[in-house]
Structure 1
Amino acid sequence: MRVLTTAVAAFAAAALGGCATTAPPPGTAVQNTPVQSAPIQSAPIQSGRTKSLPKGLDSGRNDAAYASTYQPLPSRPTALVDATIFTGTGERIERGVVLIRDGRIEAVGAAIVPPASYDLVDAHGKYVTPGLIDAHSHLGVYPSPSAPAHSDGNELTDPNTAGVWAEHSVWPQDPGFNLARAGGVTTLLVLPGSGNLIGGRSVTLRNIPARTVQDMKFPGAPYGLKMACGENPKRVYGNRNRAPSTRMGNVAGYRTAWINAADYGRRWDDYRAKVDRGDKADPPKRDLQLETLVGVLNGEILVENHCYRADEMVQMIGIAREFGYRITAFHHALEAYKIADILAKEDICVATWANWWGSKLEAWDAVEANAPMIHAAGGCAIIKSDDPDVIQRLNQEAAEALAAGRAAGYEITEGEAMKWITLNPAKAIGLDKETGSLEVGKRADVVLWDKNPFSIYAKAERVYLDGAVAYDRHDRRYQPKSDFELGQGAGR
């Protein structure tokens, strides 16, 4: 990379806290330009004027106990010039310029003259994209090294564990976060596993080195609810002589859960109505499981639904209609191509792979062109990982899907395919207004590639989060290591 004016943005010791990463050398100049963000919101049940209950007992009270403490890394005004730019909106710009200021995208285009005060990065012959977004990850809850002591993604104690939160299992020192950043991933949705009908809440993370999961939580991101249909829950519980043991048992389990949640919400509404009238009333006992489900019914928590078979996806849509919530995305969804028109009409995203199939019967009837077929039907196609290795090469997985789609006769541009790993996953996690594309005002999550990112030979040279250099392939100061890795390979 030819740098016309050397960038001096570096990791700040205060931001990184000396834990879970290596710090820059002493005396490295930094300039802190924080991004203004709304505080994280949990999913309170809506209420009117109510008498205050003791702390922790009111399901509608948000004391931000697990609020985001994310702080952007130090950044400087930067211009990436003379690049081929995939904006994430479908557009491709030749010999373009991206201006970054105060952690946001200031301008994108082909006829922009950078201000003289900006750090200029000569990107001639290189490619610039938005930061990649993984809409389905288990980093931190199934961290490396893989061991029973680290297996914290599936709470296999009940078919409905809606009360658990993935963030309470995330280990921020998982070396996988650093490897994913080197692959261009700037934001990821970490989900519980798929062993239960309802597995619990997901958490959206900014991919920075951090001491705590709160330091990684994306400010203002909505929570998601992980649900799973098909073989997984019936296999886990059927083998223990417990329900569910069939697909019809699965569906009965979902419906029972939503009935109980609706009743729980009604009881809280009745309590608050009485208090507002000045009547004496005893509040319902707070229930973490039902509280999360009511958040879904109120539209505050997104539904991320593991489901492979086309017929089961349609069943899940029916359940959503019965209880008045909507499904944000089906995950894995290898048979989504069979109902692409239905999913497009329902505005349900499909987070899938190009080449992962055959692990079980419900994953058998797959095609590599699944994502392109969803795209061609006008739907929201996403390439995701569900894997600590695939998350390092989401661009290659998208390229494989694109090639399969073109071989099947679908005329899809690289600019459109870029949406599968940027803007579409941002939509599926409720953050497409903040990130996922190089548009003015959005977070400056940017990747500089040495080659076309749809090439198997492409590597991310530099990764920016909120306009700050978070990874640089050619500068070891920006190649952080987990504390867990420190000391390994010493002397080499």
Structure 2
Amino acid sequence: MDPGEQLMRLKTPAALAAALAIALASGCATTGTAGDRAATPSAGTASGSPGDAYPGTYQRIASAPVLISGATVLDGAGARLDGADVLMREGRIVAVGRGLEAPADAIRVDGRGKWVTPGIVDIHSHLGVYPSPGTRSHSDGNEMTSPVTAAVWAEHSVWPQDPGFHAALAGGVTTLQILPGSANLVGGRGVTLKNVTATSYQAMKFPGAPHGLKMACGENPKRVYGQKGGPATRMGNVAGYRSAFIDAADYRDKRAKGNGDKAGKRDLKLETLAAAMDGDILVHIHCYRADEMITMLDLAQEFGFKVAAFHHGVEAYKIADRLGRDGVCGALWADWWGFKMEAFDGIQENVAIVDRAPGGCAIVHSDSSEGIQRLNQETAKVMANARRAGIDIAPERAMTWLSLNPAKAMGIADQTGSLEAGKMADVVLWNGNPFSSYALAEKVWIDGAAVYDRNDPALQPRSDFMLGRGPAAGGAR
């Protein structure tokens, strides 16, 4: 989010009670399959990138098997099972169904009267780079030194002590993509994190997740750079994208053909853009207006890259068929609109219309340290507004907007986003229908280990930053 838009967001401190038990458990974690994947950087591409120069060190917390029994299960892939069980073991989902048997040493959780879902995946967050509580000294999300700052990586700004991570965990968020802000035409690389307590961002990095590339169109870049030598117009924005990708294509070709010194010096900006064209980095674009989204799809066709998702997309409903046909997701708000001119033409049925289009991929995202704490309720607002318009959306369908669809757009759907055998055991137990106004996440597991329990202070993690700040600083929200 850019500095101007920060003024439109209310950032309230949100920290939860301390959890020494989690810290101790993290210290004796064992590395599972996911951790093994993270240990080896990728081999590199034609752009000359050596792979991930800052590899993740995430290790899952060891846990006994867990059996949740008798719950209403929304599997995240569009199915609902009543009176069903979920079995987790060694960090993975083993099975979902009725009458499951568990090992003798399993932790048994009574799910009767409660609902189970995959962990929520937020595709658009600025936690860690714009922490909550936030100060000017913590504002690390926008590198406003050039219209194209593809060289920067959001992970190098992430502050793991941000109390907002734990507030999001209490809302059922287990995975989140941290993006740079939207001041620039190209803001840089985003990073996908597991929402676990850690002292380094490397220890939070989602194993094997590709980087995302944050781009922005419309008012923000021209507002920020209009007095700094441009771009100052939307046509200047598009010229800026084209120039950057032309340079990146030339760089990629020279790197592919050259050897040693002939290939020239690495260029971090062009390396990132070339990797996006190669498909190794997924492209996420902050864009509000329908006409501009179409222009960006044309840009992608010109330079051979694919748009993973348009973010915010207040006018996405106008081009829902095109988005579905092109396989582009809409990462959208439930009802934010009108806070600037390009966000003026919004409707409350936006998400539902994108979802209904053939091939539609709808996502409810936060872009807010407050909204990320209640994405389930944001989704409930979409369902209610759609119902008033004659569109009935079942809870099992709505759940895909918070789990499998964002996971697909982030390139991690083979690992998380749904309760399917073999996937990471990122699971939330709710006190009832998660799309009720009274819904609360009671328990959260990440890779099969309990990391949050609303009824157990020892499993209500609290940032080091909040320690010693009195009872008002903690507690379950």
Tell whether the 8 Å contact from 2:69 to 2:86 is kept in structure 1 after alignment.
Answer: yes
SS at match of 2:199: coil
2:110 and 2:73 map into 1 onto residues whose CA distance is 13
2:372 and 2:380 map into 1 onto residues whose CA distance is 14
**Partner residue, 1:61:** 50
SS at match of 2:450: strand
Change in Cα spacing, 1:361 to 1:30, as seen in structure 2 (3 Å) is closer
Tell whether the 8 Å contact from 2:117 to 2:419 is kept in structure 1 after alignment.
Answer: yes
Report how far residue 116 of structure 1 moved: 3.5
**Partner residue, 2:84:** 96
Please identify, of 481-490 and 336-345, the stretch whose mean Cα deviation from structure 2 is larger.
481-490
Partner amino acid, structure 2, of 1:475: D
1:24 to 7, 21, 25: 21
**Partner residue, 1:403:** 384
Structure 1, gaps ≥5 residues long: 1-19, 48-57, 276-280
**Partner residue, 2:153:** 165
SS at match of 2:416: coil
1:166 and 1:28 map into 2 onto residues whose CA distance is 28
Partner amino acid, structure 1, of 2:291: D
Tell whether the 8 Å contact from 1:77 to 1:100 is kept in structure 2 after alignment.
Answer: yes
**Partner residue, 1:468:** 449
1:456 and 1:157 map into 2 onto residues whose CA distance is 43
**Partner residue, 2:5:** none
1:28 and 1:42 map into 2 onto residues whose CA distance is 26
Deviations along 1:25-76, one digit per CA (max 9) or x if unpaired, are: 99999985542121267676525xxxxxxxxxx93334x5310000112211
**Partner residue, 1:141:** 129
1:36 to 15, 33, 37: 33
Report how far residue 355 of structure 1 moved: 1.6
2:432 and 2:454 map into 1 onto residues whose CA distance is 14
Report how far residue 110 of structure 1 moved: 2.3
**Partner residue, 1:189:** 177
Tell whether the 8 Å contact from 1:44 to 1:59 is kept in structure 2 after alignment.
Answer: no
Q: How many residue pairs were aligned?
A: 454
2:270 and 2:22 map into 1 onto residues whose CA distance is 49
Tell whether the 8 Å contact from 2:88 to 2:95 is kept in structure 1 after alignment.
Answer: yes
1:432 to 410, 413, 417: 413
Q: Which residues of 2 match residues 59-458 of structure 1 at below 5 A?
A: 59-62=48-51, 64-240=52-228, 242-272=229-259, 282-378=262-358, 379-458=360-439
Deviations along 1:437-470, one digit per CA (max 9) or x if unpaired, are: 0000000000000111000111000000000001
Tell whether the 8 Å contact from 1:41 to 1:222 is kept in structure 2 after alignment.
Answer: no
Partner amino acid, structure 2, of 1:341: D
Change in Cα spacing, 1:200 to 1:472, as seen in structure 2 (3 Å) is same
2:19 and 2:396 map into 1 onto residues whose CA distance is 36
SS at match of 2:21: coil
Partner amino acid, structure 2, of 1:307: C
TM-score with structure 1 setting the length? 0.89
Please identify, of 189-198 and 397-406, the stretch whose mean Cα deviation from structure 2 is larger.
397-406
Structure 2, gaps ≥5 residues long: 1-16
Partner amino acid, structure 2, of 1:411: D
**Partner residue, 2:8:** none
Partner amino acid, structure 2, of 1:261: A
1:133 and 1:73 map into 2 onto residues whose CA distance is 19
Tell whether the 8 Å contact from 1:45 to 1:294 is kept in structure 2 after alignment.
Answer: no
TM-score with structure 2 setting the length? 0.91
Tell whether the 8 Å contact from 1:21 to 1:209 is kept in structure 2 after alignment.
Answer: no
Deviations along 1:101-126, one digit per CA (max 9) or x if unpaired, are: 10100000123233443211011100
2:242 and 2:129 map into 1 onto residues whose CA distance is 28
1:128 and 1:212 map into 2 onto residues whose CA distance is 30
Change in Cα spacing, 1:334 to 1:264, as seen in structure 2 (3 Å) is same
